[in-house]
Structures are given as structure tokens and as C-alpha cells.
A and B are shown apart, each in its own frame.
Chain A
Amino acid sequence: MAEVLVLAELNPAGGGVRKTTLEALTAARALGEPSAVVLGAPGTAAGVKDTLAEYGAATVYVAESDDVDAYLVAPKAEVLAQLVSEKSPAAVVIPSSPEGKEIAARLAIKTGSGFLTDVTEIASDGTATQAAFAGATIVHSQVTVGTPIYTLRGNSVTPEAAPAAGAEQPVSVSISDAAKQVRVVERVVEQKSSRPELTEASIVVSGGRGVASAENFSVIEGLADSLGAAVGASRAAVDSGFYPHSFQVGQTGKTVSPNLYVAVGISGAIQHRAGMQTSKTIVAINKDPEAPIFELADFGVIGDLNTVVPAATEQINARK
């Protein structure tokens, strides 16, 4: 069976494999036998290779070097290009983070290939599904040149275990000076949260202008915590200073595709719909019965969020 290279996206500081990697391993099986590629500082692979094997990696290529971590994007693309030239895989699948897309782009140039970003499905003939114009149009696309490179949008595929050998194969790494131009001086975490990451979460609860203040976002956070959900915010809420920009869902923020999206006090401007309309189930709570968000909603409550949301939070917590 043809080999498919899957770049493993890992949590920082030994935090294990990200769910997006398991999704990529699952999607890659449509095209052939997945091999995982682990790129990072020395010692990175030890804690993750069992999980990669459990989700179908026949081989785990381990390219460990301090240079991979110390410089932005370019070293990772260089190592992957080396593997593509050595192994001639049928395809390369990369989780669709900002870094993942940039690696895919550089790899495409290095290997003379085409690439498709933010795909939601990969068929066995290599055809990918993409949601264009922020989800309003569904597109089928194909790479026509070189080794097809895909970046897979988070939460598009349900990870399925498929135990494989996970045979470790070390890759010798020597990063060129050209790939060592952009030094990562420091990685700074400003908001530590116990909540799931927005683009990975299976439930997202978002607040909009209707939440009315930064303090009142505690109502949104309360409901999110009762559901084990991530918190999001509309651009209107972010621009009003109610919630930090890194939680913005929409055209100019994150695109999310959870199982359940709860839009609270969000009118549903195109800007916002662009970031969430591929969610599987959508619930809207808004006091304006004419709010366009209700057009997208599977279930809508017309009412004051300040009474409905706290009461619902209490009931959900009581059911536990």
C-alpha cells in the first residue's frame, strides 16, 4: 500500500499529540498507509509514538533537533521535503494550523507540488472537499502537480484508532543556514485556560454584543464550563473590549466546526457566520426574534440571555 506522510502536531512542553494529528492520521488512511513524522527538539518522540501507532502510523519518522524548534517553519518544511524525496509518498497530510499551512506552502515550492488548505474530507482518489467563502460554498478540488499536500481542518474528521506497528525510524537532520533566518526568541503564554482549545473543542459557547460587558462574559463562561466547552466571541464583542481577540470567531478570527455551537447574544452578521456555519448543531439565544442567527439555528430561544443562560447553566450542572 502507498505510504502517506502525516505531520504530527504536538502540544507544547511534552503535552502529547494534538487531536488534529489523530484526525489527520484517520483521514490519511483513505489514501494509503499513514506514517507519522515527528519534528521537534531531542526527546520529543518518546512521549507520543505509542499514540501515533494506536491511530494507524505504520512508521514513525523521528527528526529531532534543537534547530527545528529554534527557528520558524522553514526547518520543518526542509525536513519534510527531504522525507518526500526519499520516500516518494502518495501524499502528505498536515493539520491545518497557521504553522501547518505555512509548512505545506513551503513544501509545495520545494517539491514542485500543489497543495490544498483547510480540507474537510479526503477521498480515496485524492479529491478533497473544502468549504469556500467561509462555508457558504462546498468545493471539490484536486492537486494536479507533484505530490498532493493537504492541510486538514480541525474537527472535520472523527479520529478512529487503528493500531499499527509504529516502527520508529530516526531521520538525520541537518538544517541549512537558509532555513535558520527567523529565530523564535521566546514563546509567551498570556492566557492560561483550563478550557479546551477553540478550534479543537467539540462544544463552543460564544457571546456577542448582547452580552453587554466584559464582566457579564462570566455568564458565557459559566455555560461553557457546565458543558465542558470552549468560549468564543463575536467581532462586535471583541471590538467592544468584552473578550480577548484570540477568542474571536468569524471571518477575521477563528473558524470553528464543533458538534455544538451555542451563539448567545450574537445577531449573526456574515462576519460571524463565516467562522461557525459549518458547525454540526447550532443553538441561538437572542432577544431579537428577527436576528439572522436564527436562520442558521437548529434550535433557537427568543429571550433575555441574562435569565435563560444562568438558569440553563444551573440545570445542566444539576444533571451531573
Chain B
Amino acid sequence: MNIVVLVKQVPDSGSERKLDPADNTVARASADNVINEMDEYAIEEALTIKEAQGGEVTVLTVGPDSATDAIRKALSMGADKAVHVVDDAIHGSCAVQTSAVIAAALQQMEYDLVLCGAEATDAQLSVMPALLAERLGLPQLSGARKVTIEGGTAKVERQTDGGFWALEAPLPAIISTWDTINEPRYPSFKGIMAAKKKPVETKSLADLGVDAGSVGLATATSKVLDFAGRPPKGEGVKVTDEGDGAQKFVDYLASQKIV
């Protein structure tokens, strides 16, 4: 069972995140960059499947040089090797363009399964499995809270409001996972040391056969015109409960015509 896990480096959702006023793209250079939290669940799931069924886990990342840190994190958890697509021309690409780059990279790899996190915490689109499935003609089993691989079949519980949908499709397939699916392992010291020696293959757009003019900000399918910080809220009212807190709360709701 050969598994490719898509890993993205994102600005830490726990710190301040900004757009770059120069071109309205995510300010990655100045950000506190980390592995997308949701991808750790996909890596854990891939490692669990590999441990049960054998095979290899390969990390695939599209991103600037600095994304190496996210790749090393994935390798230190236990992934075997990585492919890093780096090309300045990719900067500012929309999701549609990025999916073309990832699809081209996948076409040069051998896999039975592609796994990824159910969303990246920076853009929060949650559409990469759909985009890749459409491009590659793969079954899309997205939003999984449980994955079972039996022979040539993938079974997934797709998380929904108040329950799940049981999905079934033949391999190869693409699956995205939510944070309800497992508890990602912490890299061991041994894992961290071993990760330094694991192979990371770097590829350019030319290596993938992707025309540099078809990606990047200039030809993106959507663009950000302008942005601004959310206007600050006016100073709210704060009361301390001295036996009358509930009354004041209900009075406030009444003043807002809510009760």
C-alpha cells in the first residue's frame, strides 16, 4: 500500500496572520510558519495503514524553500520520503492552479491512496480532494472521521452534521481526514534524527511539465482586489455580577429586542 500524504505549510493559526499589501497574497515570509495542523491527522492515518499493510508513505508538498520544515516534521513522525515542488512562478496561485501542480506531481508518483487534511487552516477552502479527484479521475472520499482499507476498497465515514455518511470506493482514491479520526503521534528523538537522512526530492514546474505561465498570480482564476482589518468593535458594556448579573443580561437582551 503506497500512500502519498499532501502536506502544506501554513502561518500558525495561533499567531497573527496577515496578507501582504504588495500583492494581496498570504504574507508567508514574515509569518510563524508551521505544518498545517490538520495534515498531522492524515500523516498519522497513513502511518497506521502502512504499519498494518506495509508499503511506503511519501510526503508531497508544494511551497517555498522554507516549507522544508513542514516536510521534516512529517518525516520525523515516520513518513519514508518526500517530494517538494518549489518554483517561484507558483507564488500567488489560486486553488485551481495549485491543484494542477499537485495533480502533475501525483502523475509522476506511484500510489494506491492519497491522503490529506480536511482543510488548511490558512485558506480554509476544504476543496483540494474535490479538485484533484476531478483532475485525475480519482474517487473523492472527503471529510473522513474513520478510514478502512480492505483489499482494493476504501471505506470511509464522512463526518456530517449530527452523524456520518458511509462511503465506499475502489482504490486508488483520495481521502481527507478530520481531527476526530486519530491522535497524531509526537516525533520521537530517534524519528527526528532519522528524518534528517530521509530523501527529499525537489522538483520544479519544468520537471513536472507544467507551463510556468499557467500558474501564479498573473493568471490566477480569482484575485483579491483589496483587504482591510475587521473594523474594531465599539467598547462593549461589562458588568460584574452582584446578584443582579442575570437581570442585567436579560435586560440587555430585551434592549436588543431578542427577548
Which A residues lie at the B interface, using CB under 8 A? Answer: 72-74, 77, 98, 101-106, 108-110, 113-118, 127, 131-146, 178, 181-193, 197-198, 203, 227, 245-246, 251-252, 259-260, 270-271, 274, 277, 281-283, 285, 289, 294, 296-304, 307-309, 311-312, 314-316, 319
Known A72-B140, A281-B256; contact A315-B162, beta-carbon cutoff 8 A: no
Instruction: Identify whether the interface residues of A are mostly helix, strand, loop, or mixed.
Output: mixed
Q: Find out whether the CB atom of A110 lies under 8 angstroms from the CB atom of B245.
A: no
Q: Find out whether the CB atom of A227 lies under 8 angstroms from the CB atom of B121.
A: no
- Rounded to whole angstroms, the CA-CA distance of A137 and B122 in the bound complex is 12
Q: Please give, as numbers and ranges, the residues of chain B lying within 8 Å of A314 by CB-CB distance.
A: 246
Q: Find out whether the CB atom of B221 lies under 8 angstroms from the CB atom of A108.
A: yes
Q: Chain B 241-259 against A: per-residue CB contact (8 Å), 1 yes, 0 no? A: 1000111111011101011
* Interface-facing stretch out of B56-64, B123-131, B184-192: B123-131
What are some 15 contacts across the A-B interface (CB < 8 A)? A73-B140, A101-B130, A104-B127, A108-B96, A114-B221, A117-B127, A139-B224, A141-B222, A188-B166, A245-B180, A285-B249, A298-B233, A299-B236, A300-B238, A309-B246
Residue in chain B with minimal CB distance to A229: B258
Q: Find out whether the CB atom of A203 lies under 8 angstroms from the CB atom of B258.
A: yes
* Interface-facing stretch out of B12-20, B42-50, B194-202: B12-20
Q: Does B95 contact A (CB under 8 A)?
A: yes
Q: Does B2 contact A (CB under 8 A)?
A: no
Known A301-B239, A302-B239, A302-B240; contact A184-B167, beta-carbon cutoff 8 A: yes
- Rounded to whole angstroms, the CA-CA distance of A282 and B234 in the bound complex is 12
Instruction: Identify whether the interface residues of B are mostly helix, strand, loop, or mixed.
Output: mixed
Q: Least Cβ distance of A212 to chain B in Å?
A: 17
Q: Find out whether the CB atom of A144 lies under 8 angstroms from the CB atom of B169.
A: no
Q: Least Cβ distance of A166 to chain B in Å?
A: 28
Q: Find out whether the CB atom of A190 lies under 8 angstroms from the CB atom of B233.
A: no
Q: Please give, as numbers and ranges, the residues of chain A lying within 8 Å of B163 by CB-CB distance.
A: 187-191, 246
Known A132-B19, A183-B168, A185-B167; contact A308-B259, beta-carbon cutoff 8 A: no
Q: Find out whether the CB atom of A132 lies under 8 angstroms from the CB atom of B236.
A: no
Q: Least Cβ distance of B159 to chain A in Å?
A: 7
Q: Find out whether the CB atom of B230 lies under 8 angstroms from the CB atom of A137.
A: yes
Given contacts A72-B158, A102-B126, 17 further A-B contacts (CB under 8 A): A113-B221, A115-B221, A117-B126, A132-B19, A133-B17, A137-B17, A141-B223, A146-B221, A185-B168, A187-B165, A192-B162, A227-B259, A251-B121, A302-B240, A307-B245, A312-B246, A315-B247
Contact of A316 among B99, B135, B138, B250 (CB under 8 A): B250
- Rounded to whole angstroms, the CA-CA distance of A285 and B128 in the bound complex is 39
Q: Find out whether the CB atom of A299 lies under 8 angstroms from the CB atom of B14.
A: no
Q: Least Cβ distance of A318 to chain B in Å?
A: 9
Q: Find out whether the CB atom of A127 lies under 8 angstroms from the CB atom of B167.
A: no
Q: Chain B 68-89 against A: per-residue CB contact (8 Å), 1 yes, 0 no? A: 0000000000000000000000
Q: Does B22 contact A (CB under 8 A)?
A: no
Q: Find out whether the CB atom of A135 lies under 8 angstroms from the CB atom of B13.
A: no
Q: Does B37 contact A (CB under 8 A)?
A: yes
Q: Find out whether the CB atom of A315 lies under 8 angstroms from the CB atom of B250.
A: yes
Q: Please give, as numbers and ranges, the residues of chain B lying within 8 Å of A294 by CB-CB distance.
A: 236, 238
Q: Please give, as numbers and ranges, the residues of chain B lying within 8 Å of A144 by CB-CB distance.
A: 220-223
